[in-house]
């Protein structure tokens, strides 16, 4: 009996996929938000660029969502 | 017909299902709800347009006015030439309103597992279907390519903007071809972003209302509120990214419209020389 038969490896795979897949976007969104706040702190007029910051958040977020979506492929 | 969340686990549908057939044409649940939302949107906007006044009266009209003015101003101001920008305002504002209404109406409680037919939920948010978002992304990008070719005056002039220098140089040729290839992934990234945000939002709400059992309204509420925000954000981003792709191509073309081939490289070289000398 191999390990793959004894343990449901799909669940481990799904867990790793979600855990690993959200690290990158988490760091990315943190960097965007942190840098935005830093820019606003230095120059309060930069607060109007929130819309642009949110666009980059959405671009980064896509990769996390791709990781989330791919857990439905693992059987 | 009305079923509560099953106890064996959250019911998750990633793909839309066929719920009925009209004259041999299969109708999926997402397209059914998309048509319902579209009719509701058109009727609501016709009523609003009839009652609009110069002095704002308040109520729902004001919010729609704010949304339309905000997006219209944004689209117009992202083009260097306001006259060109004004031509594309209607399309992007329509896109924004359509996606926004579909996202928000898809969060209503009866959409999803409320009613079922053929084993599939009868209603499903239109933007939670990859076919729908892919169609929207494809249509937007076709418009962007058509408009940028038209505004830059000929397909040859448009294609030249992908190359840094003369395409006869193998390095510039390779870079230009790579640039074109990355351009084509925009359709996929636009459609996947919207689809995944909406579909995964539905899944998250389903999971948390399953975890809550009889307290489902309380546990699902915060995620529904997040989805309201994300729905608005994604509608904004879809319209803004479409505008940006178009604006970059059009503004770029206007800049170099009258320049002969070789001068661009020289100009870029002289610019970099100035920049380095300043440092």
Residue A30: pLDDT band (50, 70, 90) is very high
Indicate whether B246 belongs to any domain.
yes
Model pLDDT for residues B125-157, shown as the tens digit of each residue: 888 888 889 999 999 999 988 988 888 777 887
Q: Which of B50, B68, B71, B48 is nearest to B60 (CA)?
A: B48
pLDDT for residue B279: 46
Beta strands in chain A (DSSP E): none
pLDDT for residue B7: 52
Residue B84 has pLDDT above 50, yes or no: yes
Cα A6 to Cα A16: distance, rounded to the nearest angstrom? 18
Model pLDDT for residues B86-111, shown as the tens digit of each residue: 888 899 999 998 999 899 988 888 77
- Cα B257 to chain centroid distance, Å, stands at 30
Indicate whether B1 belongs to any domain.
no
- Give me the residue spans of the domains in chain A: 23-75
Cα B93 to Cα B56: distance, rounded to the nearest angstrom? 20
pTM of the complete model beyond 0.90:
no
Cα B125 to Cα B123: distance, rounded to the nearest angstrom? 7
Chain A residue with Cα closest to B191: A62
Q: Which of B139, B101, B136, B106 is nearest to B30 (CA)?
A: B106
Mutate to test the interface with B, among A56, A65, A74 (most CBs of B within 10 A): A65
DSSP-derived letter for residue B117 is: E
Indicate whether B3 belongs to any domain.
no
> Which residues, 6 or more positions from B211, have their beta carbon under 8 angstroms from its beta carbon?
B219
The answer to whether B192 contacts chain A (CB < 8 Å) is yes
Indicate whether B51 belongs to any domain.
yes
Residue B128 with chain A: CB contacts under 8 Å? none
Over residues B203-226, mean pLDDT: 84
Q: Which domain holds residue B267?
A: 18-271
Number of folded domains that form chain B: 1
Residue B161 has pLDDT above 80, yes or no: no
Cα B61 to Cα B139: distance, rounded to the nearest angstrom? 29
């Amino acid at each position: 009996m191999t390990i793959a038969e004894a343990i449901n490896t799909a669940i481990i795979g799904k867990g790793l996929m979600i855990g690993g897949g959200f690290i990158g976007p988490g760091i990315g969104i943190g960097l965007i938000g942190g840098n935005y706040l830093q820019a606003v702190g230095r120059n309060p007029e930069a607060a109007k660029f929130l819309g642009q910051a949110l666009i980059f958040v959405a671009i980064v977020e896509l990769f996390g969502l791709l990781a989330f979506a791919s857990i439905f492929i693992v059987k | 017909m009305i079923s509560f969340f099953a106890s064996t686990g959250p019911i998750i549908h990633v793909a839309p299902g066929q719920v009925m057939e009209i004259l041999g044409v299969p109708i999926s649940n997402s397209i059914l709800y998309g048509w319902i939302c579209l009719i509701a949107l058109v009727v609501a906007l016709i009523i609003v347009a009839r009652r609009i006044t110069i002095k704002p009266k308040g109520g729902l009209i004001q919010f729609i006015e704010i949304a339309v003015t905000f997006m219209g101003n944004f689209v117009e101001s992202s083009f260097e030439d306001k006259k060109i920008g004004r031509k594309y305002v209607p399309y992007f504002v329509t896109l924004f309103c359509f996606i926004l209404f579909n996202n928000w109406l898809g969060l209503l409680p009866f959409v999803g597992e409320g009613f079922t037919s053929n084993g599939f939920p009868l209603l499903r948010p239109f933007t939670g279907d990859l076919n729908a978002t892919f169609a929207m992304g494809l249509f937007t990008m076709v418009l962007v390519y058509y408009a940028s070719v038209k505004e830059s005056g000929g397909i040859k002039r448009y294609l030249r903007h992908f190359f840094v220098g003369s395409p006869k140089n193998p390095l510039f040729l390779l870079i230009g071809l790579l640039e074109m290839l990355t351009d084509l992934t925009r359709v996929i990234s636009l459609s996947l972003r919207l689809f995944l945000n909406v579909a995964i939002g539905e899944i998250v709400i389903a999971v948390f209302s399953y975890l809550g059992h009889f307290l489902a309204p309380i546990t699902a509420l915060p995620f529904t509120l997040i989805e309201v925000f994300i729905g608005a954000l994604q509608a904004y981003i879809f319209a803004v990214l479409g505008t940006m792709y178009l604006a970059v191509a059009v503004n770029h073309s206007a800049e170099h419209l009258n320049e002969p081939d070789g001068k661009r490289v020289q100009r870029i070289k002289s610019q970099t020389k100035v920049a380095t000398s300043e440092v």
